[in-house]
Structure formats: structure tokens, C-alpha cells
Amino acid sequence: MAHNTATTSDPVAEREVMASLDDDGRTERLIIADTTADGAWLSVPVSGSASLREWQ
């Protein structure tokens, strides 16, 4: 995984990203979205996502 190298002058530094778990009763999904850009989000089944311990 690449490290975030954004500086305060980069437009990327002004992004706001949020994550949420959505359980609609069929499949629990992890949703990650950039709230500063339209259409900048992704959704994956929780069973297909990595745990934090796997990234340490």
C-alpha cells in the first residue's frame, strides 16, 4: 500500500474520506467514500475486506 504523500498545497490534502458498514439484511458491506467528490466511493462485501491487523 502506498503512503499518502500529499502536502498542504496538494488538492488531495483537502479530501475528506469516510467509511461505514451497511447491513441491508442480505449482505454486510464496507463503504468508503470521498465526501468532497461526486461519485468517489466504493463498496465491497465485508467478507472480502481486509482487517486492520492484516495491514500492520
> Per the confidence metrics, is the pTM higher than 0.85?
no
pLDDT for the residue numbered 33 = 94
Mention every residue, 6+ apart, whose C-beta is less than 8 A from residue 7. 13
pLDDT higher than threshold 70 for residue 4:
no
pLDDT for the residue numbered 37 = 87
**How confident is the model over 7-42, as pLDDT tens digits?**
655 566 678 999 999 987 788 998 999 998 889 999
Domain spans, the chain = 16-55
pLDDT for the residue numbered 41 = 93
Name the nearest CA neighbour of 33 among 19, 52, 22, 23: 19
pLDDT band for position 54 (50/70/90)?
confident
